Amino acid sequence: MITVYGIPNCDTVKKARAWLAEQGLEYRFHDFKKAGVPEAQLDDWLERFGWETAINRRGTSWRRLPAEDREAMDATRAREAALANPSLIKRPVAEHDGNTLIGFAADDWQEALA
């Protein structure tokens, strides 16, 4: 089963979910806002991809952080910030059979999930 993590009103999450529906792929959606961020998953994403990939540094949540927090960001601080504010996590994150994808690119998802 594919698990998609994100926030339902995120445009990129909407695109990814629409793509999954078009492909006829079943998935389980984990809403960060309602169900929280699974700490073990977050730890895995940070370890495998680095905080620079796992954290969305282009979004408004990032820009709202104080400059000193952004400048001092490291994996430990990124973990704490993401747990406190799940909107900081780059979305969507998809997991399936040991594959993890951060962000949505149809070609990458096709290769890994279909």
| From 2, 5, 6, 10, the catalytic residue | 10
Is 10 tagged catalytic? Answer: yes
Domain boundaries, the chain: 2-113
Residue 87 makes CB contacts below 8 A (sequence gap 6+) with: 7, 32, 56, 59, 60, 61
pLDDT band at 83 (very low <50, low <70, confident <90, very high): very high
pLDDT in tens, 13-68: 999 999 999 999 999 999 999 999 999 999 999 999 999 999 999 999 999 999 99
Could you tell me the pLDDT band of residue 12, with boundaries at 50, 70 and 90? Answer: very high
| pLDDT confidence of residue 114 | 76
- Percent of the chain residues topping a pLDDT of 90: 97
Query: What is 2-113's CATH topology?
Result: Glutaredoxin (3.40.30)
